[in-house]
Amino acid sequence: MLRAALDWLGFGEKGHGLAHGHSHGHGHGHDHGEGGHAHTHGVIDPTIATTERGIWAIKWSFVILALTAVMQVAVVIVSGSVALLADTIHNVGDAATAIPLWIAFLFARRKPSDQFTYGLGRVEDLAGMTIVGLILFSAVVAGYQTIDRFINPQEIQFLGAVAAAGVVGFLGNEAVAVFRIRVGREINSAALIADGYHARVDGLTSLAVVAGAIGVWLGFPLADPLVGAIITVLIFGIVWQSARAVFTRALDGVEPEFTVLLRHTGEHVPGVRAVQNVRARWIGHRMYAEADVVVDEGLLVREAKLLLDKLEAAARKHFPALAQLRLAVATGVDEDEQRRFWQGGVPEHDHGDGHGHGHDQAHDHDHDHGDPGHVH
């Protein structure tokens, strides 16, 4: 029974049944860290957004959670339950995750112009900030109401309706969980599967509302604000995680593993000696990157171009969210840049054999330590 419960919550073998590795064609794979998908709002994971099936799953998840929240709001108004209020805010936050995606696709249809040369993908960042602000405001309201209820206890009305609303919240989240997990396995998206398990845990939070209603019914009136306080703390945790993710992207931050694995991809392309000076940024849910590729000085321009094409094809295979990769040919290694890179360390990653590994500073490559230059 314990194993079944762990699988249901996503901590067992079934919860990790998705293959995260990406084949290189010679027995190697990379884990891109999707298993650590954080519970955030306002940021859309590219592994979901780059597939029509994933977008379809997000839309229907939004519909289900929005209907669940509407039902709960009605009961909050007539009952005055702060626990149910906090749970409703939580569900609204989950539903709002889909909003930046819809906004981004609406504006992404507009072609780049002389004024907006990258298009309008940044609108997704603005939408994400707005959602984080709204959730923060809602969490403050829920926290205030909870504290006020401790100081000035009030009788909860319609306890049966409150308990029923909690059950509705559980069923709505469980439906979304099953839906996301099933579609996530169909499209091989670890992020969508993780979102499914998050929805399942959120369903358990809704059941806490039922427990609070039972506690009040049994003569313990503080059960309702206690449950409200617990859920409010969880919402503040989500606000922190979401704000960090949204503002990191707004400041052109990317996951460090991306630059590391882009460099590492070059090691598997024969003829490429190194990939350096990697620069990347998110614009909406698409990534734009550039890098210098070190090749032998004796290569013809045509041969160097073929190497760049191979490297770009390999990179796009591993990073489906990559909208553009601009590669420049270099004939020498930038020692300062390489030293900075290796001093920072390389995150551990999986090569498909079940054993993750990293690289130390003594990484052995035959590099030309001449002055860096570019072939034009």
Query: Does 172 share its domain with 246?
Result: yes
In 3D space, the residue among 143, 131, 79 whose CA is nearest the CA of residue 103 turns out to be 131
In 3D space, the residue among 347, 251, 246, 338 whose CA is nearest the CA of residue 291 turns out to be 338
Query: Does 221 share its domain with 273?
Result: no
Q: Which two tokens stand for residue 307?
A: 């190497």
Query: Does 98 share its domain with 217?
Result: yes
DSSP label at residue 156: P
Looking at 250, 275, 301, the residue that finishes a domain is 250
Structural domains counted in the chain: 2
pTM of the predicted model as reported, rounded to 2 decimal places: 0.66
Query: Does 221 share its domain with 286?
Result: no
Residue 221 belongs to a domain: yes
**Is 16 within 8 Å of 183 (Cβ atoms)?**
no
**Is 87 within 8 Å of 209 (Cβ atoms)?**
yes
DSSP label at residue 252: T
Residue 14 belongs to a domain: no
Looking at 227, 250, 273, the residue that finishes a domain is 250
Q: Which two tokens stand for residue 8?
A: 């249901």
Looking at 210, 226, 250, the residue that finishes a domain is 250
Residue 143 belongs to a domain: yes
Query: Does 265 share its domain with 215?
Result: no
Residue 139 belongs to a domain: yes
Query: Does 162 share its domain with 273?
Result: no
Residue 6 belongs to a domain: no
Q: Residue 185: how many CB atoms within 10 A of its CB?
A: 16
Query: Does 123 share its domain with 234?
Result: yes
Residue by residue, pLDDT tens for the chain (376 residues) are 656 555 544 445 444 444 344 444 444 444 444 444 455 555 555 555 555 777 788 788 888 988 998 999 999 998 888 888 888 888 887 777 667 667 766 777 788 889 988 888 788 788 778 878 877 887 888 888 889 888 888 888 888 999 999 999 999 989 998 988 888 788 766 667 777 887 887 888 888 899 899 999 988 888 988 998 888 888 888 788 878 888 888 888 988 888 888 888 887 888 888 888 889 998 877 889 999 998 888 788 888 889 899 999 988 888 877 888 999 888 777 666 666 655 555 555 444 444 454 554 444 444 444 444 444 4
Residue 18 belongs to a domain: no
Residue 183 belongs to a domain: yes
In 3D space, the residue among 137, 138, 130 whose CA is nearest the CA of residue 73 turns out to be 138
Query: Does 123 share its domain with 229?
Result: yes
CA angle (26 as vertex; 21, 30 as ends), nearest 5: 20
Residue 3 belongs to a domain: no
List Cβ neighbours of 170 (8 Å cut-off, separation of 6 or more): 203, 204, 206, 207, 210
- The whole-number pLDDT of residue 157 equals 84
Query: Does 352 share its domain with 235?
Result: no
CATH code, domain carrying 83: 1.20.1510
Q: Which two tokens stand for residue 247?
A: 């503002």
Query: Does 52 share its domain with 173?
Result: yes
Query: Does 234 share its domain with 271?
Result: no
Q: Residue 306 is part of which domain span?
A: 256-357
CATH code, domain carrying 287: 3.30.70.1350
Query: Does 283 share its domain with 261?
Result: yes
